[in-house]
Amino acid sequence: MRISRKQVKVQTIHYWTNEQIRASEVRVIDESGQNLGVMPTADAVKLAREREFDLVEVFPKADPPIAKILDYGKFLYQKDKEARKQKAKVKKVEIKGIRLSLRISQHDRDFRLNQAKEFLESGDKVKVEIILKGRERQYGNKAREVASQFIDALNSLVPAKIEQPLSFQGGRLSVTVGKK
């Protein structure tokens, strides 16, 4: 049973270029990284056009804002490339499901413990479920006991913490466990 988490969205930042820059003065850095000092925005745009580049406001919160003379298309490509690298490095955490029953045998319990241990060691979370059918619904306390014994046994194998406490809804008891 696999429950996927929300995808991580990489936030895109809009950069003001050339005439879009609203500040009256900007601190200009040229294409080689040299600081040209503070100058009026119109003069900086004219200088960038003479060098066949764009003036891009890279740090608008500074006083005065910092603008670089560079190739805007190449700049956007580099930023997009960096964002894709960051997105690839993000570990996607999944919730793996393990189902138990009231009458689970010792061997099946041990098998599921090993599965849960592997899931936690690989960085995933584990959702332990006990589904009560028919007359089993009368034995909610027994189901809680089976689940807590399973979590205690799992905790002795791998240090784990309860992320979502035991909840009982419609004949289904569930608890989510993550690695400490």
User: What structural domains and CATH numbers belong to the chain?
Assistant: 18-89 (3.10.20.80), 92-179 (3.30.110.10)
CA atoms within 13 A on the CB side of 139: 15
Instruction: Quote the pLDDT of residue 6.
Output: 55
pLDDT score at 7: 55
Q: How far is C-alpha 52 from the chain's CA centre? A: 39
Instruction: Print pLDDT tens along the chain (180 aa).
Output: 555 555 555 556 778 888 888 888 889 988 888 888 888 888 888 988 888 888 888 888 888 888 898 888 898 898 889 888 888 877 777 889 999 988 889 999 999 999 999 999 988 899 999 999 888 888 888 988 999 999 999 999 888 888 888 888 888 999 999 988
Supply the pLDDT for residue 2: 57
